[in-house]
Chains A and B, each alone.
Chain A
Amino acid sequence: MFNNKLDRLIWRRHRKMMAVIGGIALLGTVMMTLILLHTLKQDPEPNIHIVTASIRKWQVYKGNYFSAYSWWLIFAFWLGGLEIMHLDLRDHFNEFLFSSGFSRLKVYWAKLRIALSALLGMSVVILAIQYLLYWLSKPNGTTFTLAWPGLITSWAMGLAFSIGMFSLSWFAALIVGQTGSLIVTISGFTLSLVGLSGIGGSILSGPWFKVSQAALPWVGAGVWLVTAVILFIWGAVLYPHLSLEHNGEYLLFPRLRVPVYIVFVVYVTWLYSFDSDGVTMAGAFILAALFGYGWLWRPRLGEKWHQWRESKQAEE
């Protein structure tokens, strides 16, 4: 399947987990498809078109009974980024990789190549199974007709979003060294994107940028791809400097603590106080600053707390 030794090694290491992720995405997609087909059967209207005529337009397809690109695939990419970067750290496969005789940069790009290839292949198979399921299980009297413009647009947007999600979890797993904290951090950030997309949409379609509603998804896809490229390149710069004595610490690169803190405070303050008054902004800023400080410096705070408590006990 893969030609060179490094690719084979990485695939050998991750194939089981990739299969599990594929299984989850397939199961989710099949379940969603069956639920939609079941709902379709309950619809009293005769001669329903499962896919509406808007599939013939160059826009992301949105319909009641059919999704051209499953949300489960986006979840699979998100999970895949976490898996391939974090499990090697957690299970100490990085130790083996770093002394394997392959340069760290080669390892980094090979991991990225293999993860994206596997996830892309997985997406093709899952989409084919989803479409086939529609074709085979469509109720009598319904039609299932697809068209390239809506499909290609939906796939392109879906893939751009998926790759963006992959890059976020991939990068987070590269810089965060604790499993629980990583999951909390990336889940929180991913959920915050719901708010961010709303704010971003209103800014882009507002008087400054005047992006049309039809063009918004394309701009969004572009933003995701640019974000992904930036994170992949930044990751490539960081990865060769990863020293494994930091394994188990919240930040694997201690020098990132201050930049991460600044980004966190600015992002959270902006997200929670966008389009609101100064008091809300000040409140959001203070809360973000305090929470961020506690979160990023909490091991030190914890240590100091224990030292203080021990010294108190000693005094008594």
Chain B
Amino acid sequence: MTLNVAGLSKEIGGRQIIQDITFEWAPGEILGLVGRNGVGKTTLFRSMMNHYIPEAGNVTVDGQNIQQVPSRQQQLFFIDTQYNFLNNYRLWELPDFFMAVYPRFDEQRFTALLAEFKLDRNSQYRRLSKGMRALVNLVLALTSNATYIILDEPFDGLDVIIRENIASMVIDEVADQQKGFLISSHDLNELDGLSDRVLLLKDSKLVHDYNLEDIRAKAKKIQLVLNDRVIPAVLKEHSQLIRVSGRVLVVVITNYTPEIDRALKDLKPVLFEELPLTLEDLFRANLAHETGYQMMK
């Protein structure tokens, strides 16, 4: 069972928002989607969900194109946080709609989760706080029992306790390999502990599809203090600069080989220390020129 996004492109108002996006997603996987504001994360979701009609590309579930076999869409769940119809309804009314679309919608669990999160079922969705709405969206996502669940900024506006609750619920949900999550978030630390893979969008394109386990095996984040202010060739060639503070350099080397290790040690740095590599480092390394971190070449 897999979901394939192949060559998805969408143009809005003469501007290419997403271009040739291709990736694969299987149940049991948690995919993070990161990219700067306006890079096209939500447009990607809307195009995948048939809200927008893409200029090119398609989405298939188990080899079946969802345009040609629309019933396959019932395996995908996505609530657009900006544009959704929930505003006019009370929470107890929502299962009526979702049960018609998701055959395995669990109404009992929906009610139980509302109670667990102390959400009044008689409340109107529009009257809820931003955080509470995010919670309701998550509750609907989990109780839909859809195979592929897309969450757009699910942690936005939530306090730390609820964030942890959500993260652990997501992990529990994928444990039996029946569901997969695709989560976009600006909170890279949150995604770091949650995702198996991270898709990085840049300039409308999917520039990286990181498997975090693989990348951690290959990549290193190193703090160095060199004897002089000149950046050595080995760093220019193989590393991405994360931070410079005087003579202290923090670099990420995505493919750390024994040769690079040797070359660095040959420089006889004053300080050579390996730091824990985070998703934020990878994000910064890839978007260095956009975030103002310039290589001192």
Contact = CB atoms under 8 A, between A and B. Distances in A.
Q: Do chains A and B stick together as partners?
A: yes
Contacts of A12: 96-97, 100
A244 interface: yes
Given A12-B97, A99-B78, A102-B70, A244 B85 contact: no
Interface residues of A, number: 25
Given A92-B85, A99-B73, A102-B70, A244 B100 contact: no
Contact of B97 (A13, A99, A102): A13
B51 A95 contact: yes
B75 to A, nearest CB: 8
Contacts of B71: 101-102
A96 B76 CA distance: 12
Given A93-B85, A95-B51, A103 B100 contact: no
Nearest to A241: B53
Interface in B87-114: 87-88, 96-97, 100-101
A42 to B, nearest CB: 46
Interface stretch (A2-10, A25-33, A73-81, A179-187): A2-10
User: Interface majority SS on A: helix, strand, loop or mixed?
Assistant: helix
A245 interface: yes
Interface residues of B, number: 24
A113 B185 CA distance: 41
Contacts of A244: 46, 51-52, 83
B100 A9 contact: yes
A259 B29 CA distance: 48
B87 A98 contact: no
Interface string A241-268: 1111101000000000000000000000
A100 B85 contact: no
A94 B52 CA distance: 11
Given A91-B88, A244-B51, A245-B52, A101 B80 contact: no
B72 interface: yes
Given A95-B51, A99-B78, A100-B74, A8 B84 contact: no
Interface in A60-109: 91-96, 98-104
Interface in A1-51: 5-6, 8-9, 12-13
A230 B105 CA distance: 39
A98 B50 contact: yes
Contacts of B49: 95, 98-99
B87 A91 contact: yes
B100 A91 contact: no
25 contacts: A5-B101, A9-B97, A9-B101, A12-B96, A13-B85, A92-B83, A92-B84, A93-B85, A95-B46, A96-B85, A96-B97, A99-B50, A99-B73, A100-B73, A100-B100, A101-B73, A101-B74, A101-B101, A102-B70, A241-B53, A242-B53, A243-B53, A244-B51, A245-B12, A247-B83
Nearest 10 A/B pairs, CB to CB: A101-B74, A9-B100, A243-B53, A99-B49, A93-B85, A92-B83, A101-B73, A100-B101, A103-B70, A5-B100
